[in-house]
């Protein structure tokens, strides 16, 4: 140590301490404990919700999702950055919308990317889908919407018989054949591959589109069955009878109180509060008037170093 350090530490009792050894001991104990608990308790993780599972177990919900996307009713349609250029819906605080700074980094056109593109790939080996797709695209937008509106109404009265969806007769145009093609893709386990296929790579590491496909009612219903909705503390609640990510409580708590609980800009508001309260304030605490005196007022340091203050009473 330097001369100034020696002067500052003169008279302070010091003992050797092997930080690396202590760290390794703690790491070893935790590793054994985690290993044993994992064997005894198992994993709390819920299996991945796949398109194949939804198509086979809830085909009506699958068809409603697909038809609503084709009708332009997807929540992603007007989400804004990073998916679309609809900046009007970007979250903002005091007129500042950070999402617009980076623009559309993950461009998504739900109608094309989620429905028409997979159907075009399927049309290569299914002539009925190819014919239906050609008829649909040749029709006017008003006619397309008329077919879709009638089909969605029919799905509300649909029934399942031997695993097949049966809807009342109606003027649906080519939509039923197209939706059956989407259902077949899902049941075959090919939907995710059709959504994420890339002309540049023989494999994919980005599953954004397949996650966005069911991000509406389907995932909401799954979350509700697991008691994991935002109204019940969101991500701080784990699947099954296991404790959740308790360290996220200060973050998720903010979603339960106004104005964040009702504001369309709630996500951004929560992030800014956490950034200021848990990051910026602790970093600059020594320079913030009043707050930098709190440790001295509390006197907790005297409890930690009580042996020193007992042996060296202050005048």
> pLDDT tens, 188-201?
999 988 888 655 55
For range 8-35, the mean pLDDT? 87
Adjacent-strand bridge partners of 161:
164
For range 299-313, the mean pLDDT? 87
Q: How many CB atoms lie within 10 A of CB 110?
A: 23
Q: Does the pLDDT value for residue 107 go beyond 80?
A: yes
Report the pLDDT value the prediction gives residue 142, as an integer from 0 to 100. 96
Cα–Cα distance between 80 and 89 in angstroms, integer?
6
Report the pLDDT value the prediction gives residue 240, as an integer from 0 to 100. 65
> pLDDT tens, 111-156?
999 999 999 999 998 999 999 999 999 999 999 999 999 999 999 9
Report the pLDDT value the prediction gives residue 200, as an integer from 0 to 100. 56
Residue 177 backbone class (left: φ over 0; alpha: ψ -120 to 50; beta: rest): alpha
CB 224 within 8 A of CB 216: no
Q: 3-state class of 264 per DSSP?
A: coil
Q: 3-state class of 145 per DSSP?
A: helix
According to DSSP, residue 229 is labeled S
Q: 3-state class of 96 per DSSP?
A: strand
Residue 69 binned pLDDT confidence (cut-offs 50, 70, 90): very high
Adjacent-strand bridge partners of 93:
96
Closest CA to 217 of 68, 52, 89: 68
pTM for the whole structure: 0.74
Residue 167 binned pLDDT confidence (cut-offs 50, 70, 90): very high
Q: Does the pLDDT value for residue 236 go beyond 70?
A: no
Residue 313 backbone class (left: φ over 0; alpha: ψ -120 to 50; beta: rest): beta
Adjacent-strand bridge partners of 261:
none
Q: H-helix or E-strand containing 40?
A: helix 19-41
Show contacts of 302-308: CB within 8 Å, 24+ apart: 308/12, 308/13
- Distance between terminal CA atoms of the chain? 29
Q: For residue 55, say if its preceding peptide bond is cis, omega within 30 degrees of 0.
A: no
For range 247-258, the mean pLDDT? 82
Report the pLDDT value the prediction gives residue 203, as an integer from 0 to 100. 65
Report the pLDDT value the prediction gives residue 238, as an integer from 0 to 100. 67
CB 154 within 8 A of CB 163: no
Q: Does the pLDDT value for residue 177 go beyond 60?
A: yes
Helices 175-187 and 59-70, packing angle to 10 deg:
130
Residue 9 binned pLDDT confidence (cut-offs 50, 70, 90): confident
Q: Does the pLDDT value for residue 2 go beyond 70?
A: no
Residue 231 binned pLDDT confidence (cut-offs 50, 70, 90): low
Q: Does the pLDDT value for residue 261 go beyond 70?
A: yes
Cα–Cα distance between 219 and 311 in angstroms, integer?
63
Report the pLDDT value the prediction gives residue 268, as an integer from 0 to 100. 92
């Amino acid at each position: 140590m330097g001369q100034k350090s020696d002067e500052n530490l003169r008279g302070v009792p010091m003992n050797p301490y092997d930080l690396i050894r202590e760290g390794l001991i703690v790491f070893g104990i935790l590793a054994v404990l985690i290993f044993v608990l994992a064997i005894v308790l198992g994993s709390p993780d819920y299996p991945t919700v796949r398109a194949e599972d939804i198509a086979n177990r809830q085909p009506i919900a699958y068809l409603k999702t697909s038809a609503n996307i084709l009708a332009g009713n997807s929540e992603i349609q007007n989400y804004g950055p990073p998916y679309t250029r609809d900046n009007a819906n970007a979250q903002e605080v005091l007129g500042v919308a950070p999402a617009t700074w980076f623009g559309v980094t993950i461009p998504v056109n739900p109608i094309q990317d989620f429905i028409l593109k997979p159907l075009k790939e399927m049309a290569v080996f299914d002539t009925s889908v190819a014919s239906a797709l050609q008829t649909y695209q040749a029709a006017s937008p008003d006619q397309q919407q008329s077919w879709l509106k009638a089909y969605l109404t029919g799905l509300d009265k649909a029934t399942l018989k031997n695993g097949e969806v049966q809807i009342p007769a109606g003027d649906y145009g080519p939509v039923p054949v197209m939706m059956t093609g989407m259902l077949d893709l899902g049941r075959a386990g090919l939907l995710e591959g059709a959504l994420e296929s890339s002309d540049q790579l023989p494999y994919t590491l980005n599953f954004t589109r397949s996650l966005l496909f069911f991000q509406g009612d389907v995932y909401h219903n799954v979350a509700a069955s697991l008691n994991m909705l935002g109204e019940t503390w969101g991500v701080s609640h784990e699947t099954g009878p296991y404790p959740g990510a308790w360290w996220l409580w200060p973050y998720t708590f903010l979603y339960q109180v106004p104005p964040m609980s009702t504001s369309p800009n709630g996500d951004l508001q929560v992030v800014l509060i956490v950034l200021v309260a848990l990051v910026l304030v602790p970093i600059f605490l020594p320079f913030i008037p009043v707050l930098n005196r709190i440790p001295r007022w509390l006197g907790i340091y005297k409890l930690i170093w009580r042996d020193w203050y007992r042996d060296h009473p202050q005048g």
